[in-house]
Amino acid sequence: MAETPATVRVTLCWSLQARQVQEQSFFVPAGSSVQSVLEHVIAVNALSPSESAPLKFMQPGIWGRKVVWAASVQDGDRVELYRPLKVDPKVARRQRFKRQGKGRTGLFANRKSGSAAGY
C-alpha cells in the first residue's frame, strides 16, 4: 500500500482587479482544505486584514470548478478564487449584439445578394 506524502504542492490564483492576476505555488500538509490553503497564504505573505478580507468573500474553485471552502486539495491542484460577476453574461452579449448591429454577425454576416434575410 502506497503511503500518502506529508505535503502536497498547490497553486493559489486570485485577481482583485481586472488584468491583475496573482499566483503563488507552495507546499501544504496533505489533507488540507481550501480554507486552510487560503489561511496559509495569508500567514506566509503577512497580509493585513484589509488586504485579506476580499479574498475570504470570493468563490473558491479547483481547476475551474466551483467547490466549497471545506473541499480538500490534492497534489498539483490549482485553487482559484473567483470575483463576483458585475454583469450577467447573457445581458452583456445582448448589448454587444445591439452595438454591432445585426447585419454583420451570425447568419447575416455572409448573405448572398438578392437572398432573403437569414439565408
User: Against a cut of 0.85, is the pTM above it?
Assistant: no
Could you tell me how many helices (H) and strands (E) the chain has, helices first?
3, 5
Q: Which of 43, 95, 101, 34 has its CA nearest to residue 70?
A: 34
Is 11 a domain residue?
yes
Residue, of 2 and 38, whose pLDDT is higher:
38
DSSP state letter for 86: S
Is 100 a domain residue?
no
Is 107 a domain residue?
no
Domain that holds residue 58: 7-84
Is 14 a domain residue?
yes
Is 13 a domain residue?
yes
Is 47 a domain residue?
yes
Is 35 a domain residue?
yes
Give, rounded to a whole angstrom, the gap between the first and last alpha carbons of the chain.
64
Check if the beta carbon of residue 6 is closer than 8 Å to that of residue 28: no
**pLDDT tens digits along 22-37:** 898 989 998 899 999 9
